[in-house]
Homo-oligomer: A and B are copies of this chain.
Amino acid sequence: MKNKKINTIISLLGSLLFLLGFVLLIPLIVSLIYRESLARIYLIPAIISLFLGVITRFKFREDEISLSTGMLVCALGWIIISIVGAIPFYLALDYTYIDTLFETVSGFTTTGITVFSNLSSMPKSILFWRSLIQWLGGLGFLTFFLIVTFRGQSGLFQLFTAESHKINMSRPVPNIFKTVKILWGIYLGFTVLELIILKFLGLSFFDSITHAFTTLSTGGFSNYDQSIAYFQQAGYTNYKIIEYVIILFMALGGINFLVHYKVLTGKVKELWQGIEMKYFWGIIVTITSLILLDHYLHFPLILNKLEETIRHTLFQVISVLTTTGYGTRDINAAFFPALAKQLLLLLMLIGGCVGSTSGGIKLIRVVILNKLFKRELKKISYPKRAVLPVVVDGNIISDSEIFRVIALLFGWLLLIVIGGGITALTSDLPAWNSFSGIFSALGNIGPFYFSVEKMQSLSITIKITYIIAMLAGRLEILPIFIIFNRRTWRG
């Protein structure tokens, strides 16, 4: 029984490595196009992946898997492909292996915290690989889990997260593989659309495709140290429109892709009718307004700078809410006063919609917690025996689902306390700034309240903590705890 389980795990991980082997050929081609003579750095990990993939697939047979095994495979899968995916960075650049692993995990989990500097001097294929892993990670985590659990007991993936739950509840077609195809189709379509628009607005083809990758995946890696502020600084005439376009596509990346599917098939009302979408727009309007209010309590209102201020504010709110993490202004700057800084931290916790590429706790969980809170208040005024279910979009949320949401929130807070503590203990960062780093890592956001140079110089302990946090956030906490549970490894 035990061997059977471990065989299944190895076999599934082998399949994933096999796939990674082929994916590594894409930056290889890019390096050939740009005549970088870096073929070696992609061929080595590609061959390792394909070799391991083939022998594990031949040696081990797959079997039905349980929920805990599915979670375990998801967690281990992303760790393994990050370990291999880091090899090109390690071979091409002058960083320690831990730093390149950090960058790769930050990529696959679509976190976007970078420990690399002087990005614009790097080989093109390296920058391409860096943005491609974000694009693959964006929809990849969800896909991999759907496929892994689909092999298991029927209805299993319903149990897992609100994410797969919602996907299952309202997926357009009963066949899971067709659903996955539709999701990737929409993802690819939006990416191509953004690529074309950015190219049209004056970006190079290379900048257009890499930024399209990291916008739709809400990843946030840019080819420039200045992030999106680069386009203004480098004198792009269309920089304002570029910023608005990126705002639009970040928002698209943060919305449930099944909502996109419905909108694309004619049900445009879906964009604002579900409660999660109402929260999405409501939060954007409210938080943007509050930050503007806070800003103008600290700075004079100059009319011909009003558009600029609103644009920077809106950009940052959508960037953090969708967990993209692009910047046109440093969130640590005086431009964002104390309340603004608090609100951006709050947005880091919340995150985007389920079924999107966003990280964070996800809006629907905030909705559920809010409804639960109101229900408990109501209970006090109602007769003792009144039954008051928690209803979201007409569906009763079961007690066991509510408990899962709470466990997620509690695990999240626990990791914030632990990670913030480790950061504070092993660095010279103040208490608040230490917390912001772990908020950002766990929410797969990117920015935090200290400088990128500071991040690069932090201890290995902190970097490993953040690697675990980035994975934990992307896997929605529970699988990470599952790894450390002995029972999971038993038969």
Chain A interface (Cβ within 8 Å of chain B)?
A: 66-68, 71, 159, 290, 293-294, 297, 337-339, 341-343, 345-346, 369-370, 372-373, 375-378, 380-381, 384, 399, 402-404, 406-407, 410-411, 414, 417, 420-421, 424-425, 428-432, 434-435, 478, 481-482, 485, 487-488
Contacts and interface: CB of A to CB of B under 8 A. Distances in A.
A178 to B, nearest CB: 27
Nearest to A345: B431
The quantity of this chain's copies bound in the complex is 2
A341 B377 CA distance: 33
19 contacts: A67-B381, A71-B380, A293-B425, A294-B425, A297-B425, A338-B430, A339-B425, A341-B431, A342-B420, A342-B421, A342-B435, A345-B431, A369-B406, A372-B403, A377-B407, A377-B481, A381-B487, A399-B399, A430-B432
Contact of A372 (B66, B68, B406): B406
B425 A68 contact: no
Contacts of A431: 338-339, 341-342, 345, 432
Contacts of A434: 338-339, 342
Contacts of A421: 290, 339, 342-343
B432 A372 contact: no
Given A376-B403, A377-B481, A431-B345, A369 B410 contact: yes
A282 B425 CA distance: 20
A346 B341 CA distance: 20
Contacts of A66: 381
Q: Which of A346, A399, A432, A478 has the most CB of B within 10 A?
A: A432
A407 B373 contact: yes
Contact of A424 (B68, B337, B485): B337
A477 to B, nearest CB: 10
A290 B421 CA distance: 10
A420 B407 CA distance: 25
A138 to B, nearest CB: 25
B373 A410 contact: yes
A410 B372 contact: yes
Given A341-B431, A432-B430, A432-B431, A478 B380 contact: yes
Contacts of A411: 373
Contact of A346 (B384, B407, B417): B417
Given A159-B384, A376-B403, 12 more contacts: A67-B380, A71-B380, A338-B428, A338-B429, A338-B430, A342-B434, A373-B414, A376-B404, A377-B485, A380-B478, A381-B482, A399-B399
B424 A294 contact: yes
A342 B424 contact: yes
B338 A478 contact: no
Contacts of A425: 290, 293-294, 297, 338-339
Contacts of A488: 380-381
A336 B478 CA distance: 33
Nearest to A482: B380
A376 B407 contact: yes
A478 B377 contact: yes
Contacts of A381: 66-68, 482, 485, 487-488
Nearest to A426: B297
Of A370, A373, A429, most B-chain CB atoms within 10 Å = A373
Contacts of A345: 431
Counting chain B CB atoms within 10 Å of each CB, the highest count among A377, A380, A404 belongs to: A380
Nearest to A406: B406
B339 A377 contact: no
A408 to B, nearest CB: 8
Nearest to A420: B342
Contacts of A435: 342
Contacts of A428: 338
